Each structure stands twice: as structure tokens, then as C-alpha cells.
Amino acid sequence: MLTVENLFVNYGMIKALQGISLVVKEKEIVALIGNNGAGKTTTLKTISGLIKPTSGRIYFQNIDLIKLNPYQITKLGIIHIPEGRKPFANLTVYENLRLGAYFVNKKREIEERLSFVFQIFPRLKERLKQPAGTLSGGELQMLAIGRGLMAKPKLLLLDEPSMGLSPILVEEIFSVIKNINKEGTAILLIEQNAAKALSIAHRAYVLETGKIMLEGKAEELINNESVKKIYLGVG
Amino acid sequence: MNYFFQQLLNGFQLGSVYALISLGYTMIYGIIRLINFAHGDIFMLGAYFGFYAITRFKFNFFIAILFSMVLCMIINVLIEKIAYAPLRKKNVPRINLLITAIGVSFFLENFASLKIIFGPDYLPYPRPFKIITFDFLGLTLSSIQIIVFFITLVLLLILDYLIKRTKIGLAMRAVSYDKETALLMGINVDNIISLTFALGAALAGAGGVLYGICYPQIHPFMGIMPGLKAFVAAVLGGIGVISGAVLGSYIIGMIEVFTAAFISSTFRDAIAFAILIIVLLTRPQGLFGKEEGIKL
Ligand SMILES: Nc1ncnc2c1ncn2[C@@H]1O[C@H](COP(=O)(O)OP(=O)(O)OP(=O)(O)O)[C@@H](O)[C@H]1O
Ligand SMILES: [Mg+2]
């Protein structure tokens, strides 16, 4: 479904990605784990078109993404839920959700998607008229995911959804991610919380300073000695 | 007492024109954090387009305003695409954009002064409709004032509807808050920026024609003073805040008229800039601004 080949990205002199290749297949959850500054966010931003690579190729369902603008990539069904949730704090919860389905015009379709999002996050329904800037951290993450779901994604790019959440909320968010995937959406998941990510992923890549160091089935990586040591904090 | 209220009406008239210019300043600042110093010159172009629409093409007054608005929109979008967009895409420091805007301003003023364009002379503005005066609660209200108030009100209501109630307006608000995330929503941010330049120009163009019928003389440098005062009004209201720009404009218009009427007309220009300095020193975010205030 998504194929990334030999991706190089620089920020000026800084070499953030140095030849990344990865694949996400239909209906898969793929985890991308790695330390701070490894290049995880950069990888997602390059897939969604916010950053243009110096070289490399990205294909989504055989469409070449390199030449497309971010808003065109979004329309293909690749939805990037950014690190730090990035709510439009000046807008209401409803307006944020509406923007998630920006390119949808039919009222009925928007209503349907809204009620789908409310099923998952009933809390958002109670907050509809509230400015997003007044939500709690957990509610903001619900809004970020809900806003992404409004677009009916085919592939969801999730950047650290569990960051800064209480353990109970982390559980809830991860079970939501699992359910979204069960309904057929492929997911590329970035996480600091490697143990959690590996527990729901089918496959995973380990990123270290701009390069893929390891890849494989999630259950194999959980038992890999170096992964255990560095990312899972055991052994 | 009567004189006082009469001046109030005059202040309202001047404030209306400032509001139409000021909105463009504030919207463009809101969307790309640029103080578009060429905006007063769009207002000047608007006055000329209205002039030719009425004198040369014999358009009806309202059609002339529409004509001027449309031409100003096209020109401002072209300016944005040619002068600012390439710089924006290179992520240059904001000061570079500002200097470019000043360059565009000089260009427009001097280009308009060319004999083959509008020429350097003062031109008397046509009076496209009969000037009738009405007695209104003991005050004299002219048909010009009524038309200025009416058109300003209609344009403000349309703008308010567009920004608060339409999908495009929602996109404008999203883009002004966070461009990168707006792109992730599938918003064509470049188009929204162009649209903002177009809207600002349409209002300034209408303002130019209204200014022409109120203060009936136009010339290629006529945009400088009203442009600067509308900028002061936008800062006073809190740059980036739409309602603030409107209120700031009426305040500046009133203060200017009252200064001229009750103190001395030699101070009428100075007062606006005194206000600018006071605002920047004491409340740089303006009356209604929430953010840290204006940044060059
Ligand atoms: N806009 C930028 N300008 C310059 N360097 C940047 C920029 N964004 C990221 N970098 C650098 O690129 C490298 C990769 O950053 P990236 O944000 O992709 O890491 P990450 O894996 O997402 O880290 P984290 O887990 O902390 O979010 C880092 O060394 C970072 O300092
Ligand atoms: Mg990151």
C-alpha cells in the first residue's frame, strides 16, 4: 500500500534521514520506534508531503507522492495526525472536526462521520462548542484522532499518540487504534512507548539516527536482545 | 452641540473608509504575518479604477465599485504570486517580506504616476449621483454619507458572514493559526493566502472609490496617508483581529475629525501617529489583541 524507498532528508546541514526504506501493507499496523531525534517525525512529515526529500521515492497505491502537495496527499486518504496534537486552539471542537473532513461537502456525509467519531470519543460531543484551546491533554488527543478519522483515512500516520497521557488513557487510545485498524485502516505508528507499540503492531522498524537498524515481526522484535535492552528497558 | 454631532457624522464617514483599508492590513497580517505596506496603494488604484469606470465607461456608480473591487483583487493576487509567494516558499525572514512590500508600494505609486498610466496630476473625482442633503434629527446628512455608510455596512456584513459561516472562512482561520496543520487537513494553503489578498484588495478598492466621492481629488500618492492611518487603526484594534480593525478605524476617524474641528487641522495627521506610539508603548497587542502584539 505504502512503499518508501531509500529516503534521504536534510535540514540544511543536518542529515535527518539517510536512506530509509519501509513498507506498510493493507490492513497492517506498522510501528516505527527509535530514540529522540532518530528521524521518526521527519519520516512521517516526508510521507505526508510537508517535507521534500533530497532523494528517494514514496508510492501509495502506485501513486508517486514525491511530486504531490500535502493537501493532495491528504485527499488520497493518507492522514497524518501530528506530534503534539496540533489543535486549532482558536477554533471550536466542532470546527476542528469539520476541518478534518475539509474536502467533504455533503452535509449527510459529514454528519455520518461525526457520529462515527462520537461513538469512539463521546467526550468530544459534550465539548463541541468549546474552543479547542480549553481542552485537557487527553481530550486534545481524542480531538486529534477524531479529526483524523473525519477524513475516512486509508492510511493513518500517528505520531506519538500516547505522549503525556495517564496510563488509563494510554490504554484507551491504544485500544481505539486497534479498533480503527480492525475496521480496515492501515496504520503507521510512531511511539516512544515501544513496548505498547510492539504489543499492537504486526510489524515494526527500529530507527537510529536516520537509518533503519532492525525490522521484523513485532513479536520477534519484542524478544530481540538489543531491542529489549535499549527500547524496552529490560535485560 | 449640533456642531459636535455633525463632526461625529464626519468622523464616522472617515472611519468607514479607514475600516475598508484597515481590514486588509489586519487580514493579511493575520494570515502571513506581513504588514503589507503596499496596501494603501491598492486603495489608490481602486480610486482610479472607479474614476475611469465612471468617467470613461459611464458605469453606474455601484457597478463602478464592483469593477474597481474586481480589478484590485486581480492585481493584489498577482502581486502576492509574483512578489511575496516566492519569498514565502524560501522561508526568508519576515523583514525581507516587509522590505519587498515597501518596494511594491514605491513601484505602484511611481508606476501609476507615469503619463501612460494614470499620470502624476491631481484629478477631480466625478460625482456619480445627485448630492441631496437631508435633515436628520437636526443634523445634515448628505446622500454621499448615506451611501458610504450603507456600502461599508454591506461589505462588513458580507465579510463577517464569509469568515464566520463559510468553509472558506473556516480555512482562513485555520491557516492563520497554523499553516502546516492546515495543509494536513487538505487545505490548499496557497489558495487561501491568495484569497485573503483578494478580499483585502476588494475592500480597499471599494474604499478608494468611496474616498473619491467624499474627498473628491485623487492622485498617485493619495494612498500613503490613509494607508498609514488604517495601519494605525489595525494596530490600535489589535492586528490580526478583524473586529478590532473596524473599531480602531472608527476611533481613528473620530479622533482625527475632532482634532481638526476642535484643536487645529494642522494636527490631524500627527494625532494618528501619536496614537500609534502610545499603543506600541503601552499596549502593543492593541485593544482586542490576545497575542504578543505586532512584530515586524
Ligand atoms: N525543522 C528542523 N530544522 C533542523 N533540524 C531539524 C528540524 N526538525 C528536526 N530536525 C532534526 O532532525 C533530526 C530528526 O528529528 P525528528 O523530529 O524526525 O526526530 P524524532 O525521531 O521524531 O524525535 P522525537 O522522538 O524526539 O520526536 C533531529 O536531529 C532533529 O534535531
Ligand atoms: Mg518526533
Strand order in the sheet with A78-81: A78-81, A155-159, A186-191, A29-34, A203-208, A211-217
First-to-last CA distance in chain A? 36
The C-alpha cell 493566502 sits at B193
Q: Which of B22, B34, B46 is nearest to B100 (CA)?
A: B34
% pLDDT > 70, chain A: 99
Instruction: Decide the pairing of beta strands A78-81 and A155-159.
Output: parallel
So what's the pLDDT on residue A171?
A: 94
Lowest mean pLDDT among A64-73, A213-222, B217-226: A213-222
What whole-number distance in Å separates Cα of residue B254 and Cα of residue B67? 30
C-alpha cell at A158: 500517528
Asked whether B240 and B29 are in contact (CB, 8 A), the reply is: yes
CA count, 13 A, side-chain hemisphere, A221 = 29
What whole-number distance in Å separates Cα of residue A207 and Cα of residue A158? 16
**pLDDT, tens digit (0-9, with 9 covering 90-100), for B165-215:** 999 999 999 999 999 999 999 999 999 999 999 999 999 999 999 999 999
**pLDDT, tens digit (0-9, with 9 covering 90-100), for B63-121:** 999 999 999 999 999 999 999 999 999 989 999 999 999 999 999 999 999 999 999 99
C-alpha cell at B65: 465599485
Instruction: Domain ranges for chain A, please list them.
Output: 1-77+155-235, 88-152
A225, pLDDT greater than 90 = no
Looking at this predicted complex, what is its ipTM?
A: 0.95
Lowest mean pLDDT among A125-129, B101-105, B282-286, B289-293: B289-293
Considering the four listed CATH numbers 1.10.10.10, 3.10.450.50, 3.40.50.300, 3.40.50.2300, the one that applies to the domain covering A1-77+155-235 is 3.40.50.300
Instruction: Decide the pairing of beta strands B133-136 and B139-142.
Output: antiparallel
C-alpha cell at A12: 540544511
Any idea how long chain A is?
A: 235
C-alpha cell at B131: 448630492
So what's the pLDDT on residue B295?
A: 64
C-alpha cell at B294: 505586532
> From the CA of B183, how many Å to the nearest CA of chain A?
5
pLDDT band at B139 (very low <50, low <70, confident <90, very high): confident
So what's the pLDDT on residue A227?
A: 81
What whole-number distance in Å separates Cα of residue A170 and Cα of residue A14? 33
Closest chain B residue to A90, measured at CA: B177
**pLDDT, tens digit (0-9, with 9 covering 90-100), for A86-129:** 999 999 999 999 999 999 999 999 999 999 999 999 999 999 99
Asked whether B125 and B213 are in contact (CB, 8 A), the reply is: yes
So what's the pLDDT on residue B290?
A: 76
pLDDT, averaged across chain B: 95
The residues, any chain, with a CB within 8 Å of residue B287's CB and separated by 6 or more, are B236, B237, B238, B244, B247, B248
From B185, B188, B189, residue closest to A99, measured CB to CB: B185
Residues in B touching A103 (Cβ below 8 Å): 186
Q: What are the start-end ranges of the H helices in chain A?
A: 40-47, 70-75, 93-100, 107-120, 122-126, 137-149, 167-182, 194-200, 218-222, 225-230
Asked whether A155 and A1 are in contact (CB, 8 A), the reply is: yes
Q: Residue A34: CB within 6 Å of ligand 1?
A: yes
Ligand 1 centroid–CA A209 distance in Å is 10
Mutate to test the interface with B, among A102, A156, A158 (most CBs of B within 10 A): A102
**pLDDT, tens digit (0-9, with 9 covering 90-100), for A4-61:** 999 999 999 999 999 999 999 999 999 999 999 999 999 999 999 999 999 999 999 9
Closest chain B residue to A75, measured at CA: B186
B292, pLDDT greater than 70 = no
Range B50-82 burial, b when 16+ CB lie within 10 A, else e: bbebbeeeebebeebbbbbbebbbebbbebbee
Instruction: Domain ranges for chain B, please list them.
Output: 20-216
The answer to whether B181 contacts A86, with C-beta atoms less than 8 Å apart, is yes
First-to-last CA distance in chain B? 43
Q: Residue A45: CB within 6 Å of ligand 1?
A: no
B294, pLDDT greater than 70 = no
What whole-number distance in Å separates Cα of residue B47 and Cα of residue B53? 10
C-alpha cell at A210: 536516520
Mean pLDDT confidence for B267-279: 94
The residues, any chain, with a CB within 8 Å of residue B131's CB and separated by 6 or more, are B142, B143, B144
Ligand 2 centroid–CA A152 distance in Å is 24
Ligand 2 centroid–CA A83 distance in Å is 6
So what's the pLDDT on residue A48?
A: 98
Q: Which helix (H) or strand (E) holds B46?
A: helix B39-55
The number of beta carbons lying within 10 Å of the beta carbon of residue A151 is: 23
Phi, psi for A20 (deg, rounded to 5): -95, 135
B1, pLDDT greater than 90 = no
Q: Residue A36: CB within 6 Å of ligand 1?
A: yes
So what's the pLDDT on residue B296?
A: 60
Residues in A touching B166 (Cβ below 8 Å): none
The residues pairing with B139 across neighbouring beta strands, listed in sequence order, are B136
What whole-number distance in Å separates Cα of residue A70 and Cα of residue A225? 39
B137, pLDDT greater than 90 = no
Ligand 2 centroid–CA A223 distance in Å is 25
What whole-number distance in Å separates Cα of residue A200 and Cα of residue A193? 12
For chain A, say whether B242 makes contact (Cβ under 8 Å): no
Ligand 2 centroid–CA A20 distance in Å is 16
A165, pLDDT greater than 70 = yes
Residues in B touching A82 (Cβ below 8 Å): 180-181, 184
Mean pLDDT confidence for A183-190: 97
Residue B179 to residues B27, B33, B88, B172, Cα–Cα distance (Å):
15, 12, 12, 10
> From the CA of A221, how many Å to the nearest CA of chain B?
31
Q: Residue A14 CA: which ligand 1 atom is closest?
A: 5
A235, pLDDT greater than 60 = no
% pLDDT > 90, chain B: 90
The answer to whether A99 contacts B177, with C-beta atoms less than 8 Å apart, is no
What whole-number distance in Å separates Cα of residue B50 and Cα of residue B40? 16
Q: What 8-state DSSP symbol labels residue A28?
A: -
Mutate to test the interface with B, among A88, A113, A129 (most CBs of B within 10 A): A88
Q: Residue A45 CA: which ligand 1 atom is closest?
A: 18
For chain B, say whether A46 makes contact (Cβ under 8 Å): no
Q: Residue A40: CB within 6 Å of ligand 1?
A: yes
Identify the residue whose C-alpha is closest to ligand 1 atom 11. A16
SS3 content of chain B, % helix, strand, coil (to 5): 75, 5, 25
What whole-number distance in Å separates Cα of residue B102 and Cα of residue B96? 10
Instruction: Tell me which residues have their CB within 5 A of the ion that is ligand 2.
Output: A 41, 83
Q: What 8-state DSSP symbol labels residue B134?
A: E
DSSP string, A120-145: H-HHHHHTTTSBGGGS-HHHHHHHHH
% pLDDT > 70, chain B: 98
Phi, psi for A80 (deg, rounded to 5): -100, 115
Residue B24 to residues A146, B7, B78, B191, B291, Cα–Cα distance (Å):
34, 26, 16, 16, 19
Lowest mean pLDDT among A52-61, A224-233, B141-150: A224-233
For chain B, say whether A91 makes contact (Cβ under 8 Å): yes
Instruction: Decide the pairing of beta strands A29-34 and A186-191.
Output: parallel
From the CA of A36, the nearest ligand is 1
